[in-house]
Structure 1
Amino acid sequence: MTATVVMALTGFSAGHKNRDGGDGGGCSSSSQDHDGSSTSTTGGGSSGSGSGSSGSTQKPAQDTPVIVVSCASAGDPYATVKVQNPNDRKVTFTAYVTFLTRQGVPLTERSTQITAPAHGEGTGQIAVGDDALAAQVFRCQALRQAEAMN
C-alpha cells in the first residue's frame, strides 16, 4: 500500500492584545480547507474481480486561528489563548504566541497544546518564562494558526 499525503498550508492569522487591554489587531474568522489535496492510493486486489479498500479514512484535521484573550504581565506571567475547533471530532492544537516589548521587540516565542471538543472551544495558558521577562512584556501576538495535531 502506498499513501501520499500532501497538505498545502496557506494564509496567516494573527491576533494580539496589549497590556493596556486594547486590541492590536484581530483574528481571521474565515476557515480554510486544508484537506482538499490529500490523496491515498491503494494497490492490490484480484485481477478481474475488482478491488476495494476496507475501513474508512479520516480527513486531516483543519488548523484554526489563535485568539489572545489576555497578555502576560509582571503580576500574571501567562498569556491566555483560545481556539475554536472547526472539526467534526476532538482535536489537540499547538498554539504559538510571541511576547513583545512596548517597542515591538520580540522577547520570546512560546507554545502550548490545547484540546478542544468537536465544534467547541479550548483555552490554554502560555508562560512567558521568568518574572523578569514578564515585567518587560507589553503585547502578546499569535504567530500563526494553531496547528492541528490529530
Structure 2
Amino acid sequence: MYTRGRRLRFTAVSAMVVLALTGFSSGCGHGSRSDDSGGPHGSSSSGSSSSAAYDSGASTGGSGGDTPTHRSTPTPSPSETAPPLKDGTAVLISCASPDDPYATVEVRNPNGRDAVFTVKINFKDERGSTMIDTGDQVSVPAKDTTTYRVAMASTGRLDEIARCEVNPRATADR
C-alpha cells in the first residue's frame, strides 16, 4: 500500500510538471511568460493548465514578439471615418477704434463636431490701403457661434484705421 500511494503521488506530480512544461513551451513561446504574469502553471492537474497559461500571457499585452494574440484592434472603414469639415462663416460685429482697440468678429461652425477656423481680417486706412492683414485661428464648438476679439492696441496706428474687412468664409483647418 505504501508503494502504491507513493507511486500515485509521483504520477500526479509528474503529470503536473509535464503540463506546466508543455504550457511553457507551446503556449507562451518564451518559457517564463506564465511566471511573469502570475499565471496558473501547476495549479491544476487537468489539461486546462497550458491553455490558462497561454490565455493569461496573451491578455497581458507583454512584449513577446512571437506570442500570438486572439484580439485585434478594429480599423475604421472609410464609411466610418468622420466627414471632412465644412467651412464656417465670419461676420464683423465692430471694428477697432481708439475707444475700443479690438475688432470683434462672430464665427459660426456648421459642423456636428468642434472645429478650428482661420479668420482673416484686414484693417484699412482712409484711402482703402491695407494697414494690417491678420489670419487668426478660432476654436468653435459644434453647431455653435463664438465671438472673437482681435487686439489692435500694440500697433500704434489705431487712429489711422478707418474700417475693417472680414473674409466671410472662415476656413476650417483640415
- Classify the TM-score, shorter chain: 0.5 to 0.7
Aligned counterpart for 1:102 among listed residues 104, 112, 126: 126
Whole-angstrom distance in 1 between the partners of 2:153 and 2:131: 10
Whole-angstrom distance in 1 between the partners of 2:157 and 2:129: 13
The TM-score with structure 2 as length reference comes to: 0.51
Aligned to 1:22: none
Whole-angstrom distance in 1 between the partners of 2:129 and 2:137: 25
Would you say the 8 A contact 1:114–1:123 is kept in 2?
A: no
Measure how far apart 1:65 and its partner are.
2.1
Please tell me whether Structure 1 or Structure 2 has the larger radius of gyration of its CA atoms.
2
1:1-45 Cα offsets, whole Å, 9 max, x none, are xxxxxxxxxxxxxxxxxxxxxxxxxxxxxxxxxxxxxxxxxxxxx
More strand by share: 1
Residue identity opposite 2:93 in structure 1: V
Aligned to 2:75: 54
| Secondary structure in structure 2 of the residue aligned to 1:130 | helix
Whole-angstrom distance in 2 between the partners of 1:149 and 1:90: 11
1:60-112 Cα offsets, whole Å, 9 max, x none, are 11112210111001222211111111101111111110001122111111132
Whole-angstrom distance in 2 between the partners of 1:111 and 1:79: 13
Whole-angstrom distance in 1 between the partners of 2:152 and 2:104: 11
What RMSD over aligned residues (CA atoms) do the two structures have, in Å?
Answer: 1.9
Cα 1:129–1:94 shift into 2, 3 Å: farther
Whole-angstrom distance in 2 between the partners of 1:125 and 1:105: 22
More helix by share: 2
Aligned counterpart for 1:77 among listed residues 101, 124, 130: 101
Would you say the 8 A contact 1:99–1:108 is kept in 2?
A: yes
Would you say the 8 A contact 2:89–2:109 is kept in 1?
A: no
TM superposition outliers: structure 1 runs of 4+ over 4 Å = none
Q: Percent identity?
A: 32
Residue identity opposite 1:103 in structure 2: R
Count the aligned residue pairs: 98
- Unaligned 5+ residue runs, structure 1? 1-52
